[in-house]
Every structure is written in C-alpha cells, then in structure tokens.
C-alpha cells in the first residue's frame, strides 16, 4: 500500500455527554468515550493498519483517545506529536454553555450558523486569552502568545493547514502511515482541503466520534482513495 492517513475524532467527552460547547476547554473522556477508542483500535487492527507516526491536539480528550488506540493495537512505540494547531475550534462565549442554553440566549438560527458556517464566529470570550494548562508541556509546536477568544471554521483552517503541509503531508506523500486524532472542527477543516469541498458543502459535513476515516495516497498530498471503517466497505 502507498502512504495512508487515518483521521479519528476523539471518543465521547464529559462535555459531549452534557451537550455543551467545549472548544478549548480541557475535559476528559467518559467511559463510553474510552470504549469508543478501544472499538476504533479494533477496527484499525482488523483492517491490518499499522502506523509509523501519530499526531493529536493538545487537549486531553484527543491525547487520551490516541493513547488508548495505540495501546490497544500494541503500537506504543509509534512517535507521537501533539500540537495546538489540531485543537478544536475556540467557541468564544459559547464555551461551557449547554447547546439548548445557547439557543435560548442567542436564537437557534444564529447558533446553527456559528456551529456549521465556514466564516461565522461566535461572540468572543470575555476573559483575555491565556496559555491553557498543559498545552506547552504537550506541544512540540507551542502556542505563541494568548489563545484565541473566538474562531470560525475558516480560522481553524488557517492553523490546521500549515501543520498539515509542514508536518503530516510530507510523511504520507513518501509512503508513511499516519494517524491523526483530533476534533470535529479541526478534522472538518482538514477534510475540506483533502476532498476539495466548497464552503457550503463543509456546512453539512459530520465527523462521527471514534470512526476511523482512511485516506490512501499515491506520492501526492491529495488522496487517491477514501473510506470509513465500521460504516462502509472500502470503495
């Protein structure tokens, strides 16, 4: 097989369970989230996939998912790089709110635009941006200056794509086998580029948690083939 990339959204977090906007808030996995990571590991093992590089965000829910997957697959020797550039989008003033609470406060239509639109930003957080605990310690690419106060998906793309071109793409283009564990929006930004989706098309893109998405490469930085494990047969 030529180089390949597996994208994996982290398992269920405590905030997912409570239906809250999480963003850069650092929360752990639920037991269901840990089981989702173990299930993803089984799917990857059954497909005969092994890795020589792994990447994650700096947030605990992604780091823990990656650790579980590699441990279950017996691949704990795989080098791991964590970067804030793969973090979930910063949801600004919405962070920590239940989604129903946000809709009651701002209106359902506006909240949907903030969640799904490519250029829509939620209201900025009131607190000044600060370094988040653990980010510098986990990252080989430390955040310079304060964290953002709010982000659109377009903003997320601006930080994800340089990391793709600089760190991940060179590996898979040379036949490497990479695993990326991140978040719904950082993965949406990457899939938008990989699949050439329009701004409108990406609004309807859903990345389910703990379902591996596989891209095969043939000496280029655009995939030759794509399929999901556990949902559809390769095609």
Catalytic machinery residues: 10, 88
Contacts of 232 (CB under 8 A, 6+ apart): none
Phi, psi of 33, deg, nearest 5? -65, -40
What single string gives the DSSP state of each residue in 74-132? T-TTS-EEEEGGGSPPP-GGGTT-BHHHHHHHH-HHHHHHHHH-SS--PPPPSSPP-PP
Phi, psi of 22, deg, nearest 5? -105, -55
Q: Are 13 and 89 in contact (CB under 8 A)?
A: no
Phi, psi of 17, deg, nearest 5? -60, -40
As a whole number of angstroms, the distance between CA 226 and CA 197 comes to: 14
As a whole number of angstroms, the distance between CA 226 and CA 67 comes to: 24
What burial letters (b/e) apply to 75-90, b meaning 16+ CB within 10 Å? beebebbbbbbbbbbb
Distances (CA, A) of 170 to 3, 24, 120, 133, 139: 10, 28, 31, 30, 19
Classify the C-alpha dihedral 72-78-84-86 as positive or negative.
Answer: negative
């Amino acid at each position: 097989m030529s180089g390949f990339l597996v994208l994996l959204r982290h398992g269920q977090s405590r905030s997912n369970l409570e239906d809250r906007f999480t963003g850069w808030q650092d929360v752990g996995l639920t037991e269901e989230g840990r089981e989702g990571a173990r299930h993803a590991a089984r799917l990857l093992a059954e497909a005969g996939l092994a890795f020589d590089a792994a990447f994650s965000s700096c947030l605990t829910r992604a780091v823990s998912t990656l650790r579980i997957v590699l441990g279950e697959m017996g691949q704990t020797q795989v080098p791991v790089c964590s970067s804030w550039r793969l973090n979930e989008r910063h949801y600004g003033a919405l962070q920590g709110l239940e989604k129903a609470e946000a809709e009651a406060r701002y209106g359902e239509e506006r909240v949907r635009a903030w969640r799904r639109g490519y250029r829509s930003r939620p209201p900025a957080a009131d607190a000044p941006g600060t370094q988040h605990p653990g980010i510098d310690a986990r990252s080989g690419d430390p955040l310079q200056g304060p964290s953002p106060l709010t982000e659109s998906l377009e903003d997320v793309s601006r930080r994800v794509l340089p990391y793709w071109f600089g760190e991940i793409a060179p590996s898979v283009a040379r036949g490497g086998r990479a695993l990326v564990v991140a978040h719904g929006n950082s993965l949406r930004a990457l899939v938008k580029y990989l699949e050439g989706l329009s701004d409108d098309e990406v609004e309807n893109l859903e990345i389910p948690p703990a379902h591996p998405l596989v891209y095969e490469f043939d000496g280029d930085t655009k995939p030759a083939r794509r399929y999901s494990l556990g949902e559809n047969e390769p095609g």
